[in-house]
Amino acid sequence: MEFFKIRRDIPFMRHALIFNLVSFITFALAVFFLLTRGLHLSVEFTGGTLMEVNYSQAADVGKIRNTVAALGLNDVQVQNFGTSRDVMIRLPAQKGVSTAQQSDTVLAALKAANSDVTLRRTEFVGPQVGEELAQDGLKALAMVVIGIMVYLAFRFEWKYAVAAIIANLHDVIIILGFFAYFQWEFSLAVLAAVLAVLGYSVNESVVIFDRIRENFRRYRKMDTTEIINNAITSTISRTIITHGSTEIMVLSMLLFGGPTLFYFSLALTIGILFGIYSSVFVAASIAMWLGIKREDLIKGPTKKDEDPNDPNAGATV
């Protein structure tokens, strides 16, 4: 399905150097903010107090969050747990305040606002657990990157794999750079969003690379730049449909999902927008700079050049 069909190829690669320069500057800034500001890690990574409370009726999560925030506690996470009556509260660790003291203070404030609240359990999440989660998250990220590279190297060729991985890492580092610069809270949900962006971004790169491979087989007289321009232009309609529909869903979570889903959907929004950019102007152009050519993908004799407007072009002879 296509919303529109562009009859003339758009010369994307004519400005590849400029786009790559913009990408490099953005990437360098993201790395700089990560090194100088660092990530504002959530309780899951830094440790703190975990409370589970229960109400006789559906709990007002927003009111609970405001009640806890009025105590002067920052970075508090409040969300439903299991049912609408069960609420999980994550509190950051405070110097000189024990877990019992912290939970008693919060419970007293909650009872003052609503007397039917009861404490189910409270426990302390130590920084060792948070450090283990951070290490596991980095391992998961590394495994995803390696898996994508191996997959692309087998499906296409090593130059395509390198180009796609650089583009995907470009997206991930920029997301982290945004979170470091604005000091947004980086939680396990945000980490899940980053991993999702990796898979989502590589899908767009694979679609473009697949069309490049197909064009190399169909058009023998086109040079590499023309092949890439044609591949990107011919997939624009598909890109608008897939990314547009996905972004509508993510924006609905961003606007109406509340604080629990806010940073998760925000990371996805940044990743989707930069994923489109990186697939077109980073992955494709890096593949061009690496010197991809017809011989990398097609072994043996190739067919004669076919008319791009011929509906039977590319058919098996």
- The answer to whether residue 316 scores a pLDDT higher than 60 is no
Nearest to 194 by CA among 209, 206, 177, 181: 177
- The answer to whether residue 57 scores a pLDDT higher than 50 is yes
pLDDT for 297: 63
Q: State how far the Cα of 251 lies from the Cα of 265, in Å rounded to an integer.
A: 7
- The answer to whether residue 29 scores a pLDDT higher than 80 is yes
Q: Quickly count: other Cβ atoms within 10 Å of residue 57's Cβ.
A: 9
Residue-wise pLDDT tens digits, 130-140: 677 778 877 87
Asked if 287 contacts 160 with a C-beta cutoff of 8 angstroms, the reply is yes
Q: State how far the Cα of 191 lies from the Cα of 81, in Å rounded to an integer.
A: 20
Of 23-27, 113-117, 167-171, 273-277, where does the model show the most confidence? Answer: 23-27
Higher pLDDT, 48 or 289: 289
Task: Provide the CA 47 distance to its chain's centre, in angstroms.
Answer: 25
Q: pLDDT tier at 1 (50, 70, 90 boundaries)?
A: low
* Mean per-residue pLDDT, 205-230: 88
Owner of token pair 């930069």: 274
* Mean per-residue pLDDT, 223-249: 88
Mean pLDDT estimate for the chain: 82
Q: pLDDT tier at 19 (50, 70, 90 boundaries)?
A: confident
User: In the chain, what are the domains?
Assistant: 12-39+130-297 (1.20.1640.10), 48-125 (3.30.70.3400)
pLDDT for 34: 93
Decide the pairing of beta strands 40-41 and 77-81: unpaired
Cα R_g (the chain), whole angstroms: 25
* Mean per-residue pLDDT, 62-74: 86
pLDDT for 303: 47
Residue-wise pLDDT tens digits, 180-195: 999 898 888 898 898 8
pLDDT for 151: 80
Higher pLDDT, 267 or 134: 267
Judged by DSSP in three states, 76 sits in: coil
Q: pLDDT tier at 299 (50, 70, 90 boundaries)?
A: low
CA geometry: angle 127, 132, 133, nearest 5 deg: 95
* Mean per-residue pLDDT, 283-292: 88
pTM of the prediction? Answer: 0.76
Q: pLDDT tier at 33 (50, 70, 90 boundaries)?
A: very high
Asked if 311 contacts 216 with a C-beta cutoff of 8 angstroms, the reply is no
Higher pLDDT, 312 or 261: 261
pLDDT for 135: 80
Q: CB-hemisphere CA count at 13 Å for 71?
A: 21
Q: pLDDT tier at 290 (50, 70, 90 boundaries)?
A: confident
Q: Could you tell me the CA-to-CA distances from 291 to 9, 13, 241, 306 in Å, in that order?
A: 21, 13, 31, 23
* DSSP per-residue codes, 201-223: HHHHHHHHHHHHHHHHHH-SSS-
Which residues contact residue 76 at a Cβ distance below 8 angstroms, ignoring those fewer than 6 apart?
65, 68, 69, 89, 90, 91, 92
Q: State how far the Cα of 41 lies from the Cα of 50, in Å rounded to an integer.
A: 16
Q: pLDDT tier at 315 (50, 70, 90 boundaries)?
A: very low
Residue 48's DSSP bridge partners are 92, 125
Higher pLDDT, 117 or 82: 117
Residue 49's DSSP bridge partners are 91, 124
Judged by DSSP in three states, 257 sits in: coil
pLDDT for 302: 45
Asked if 264 contacts 191 with a C-beta cutoff of 8 angstroms, the reply is no
* Mean per-residue pLDDT, 260-273: 91
User: Which of 148-152, 169-173, 212-216, 261-265 is least confident?
Assistant: 148-152
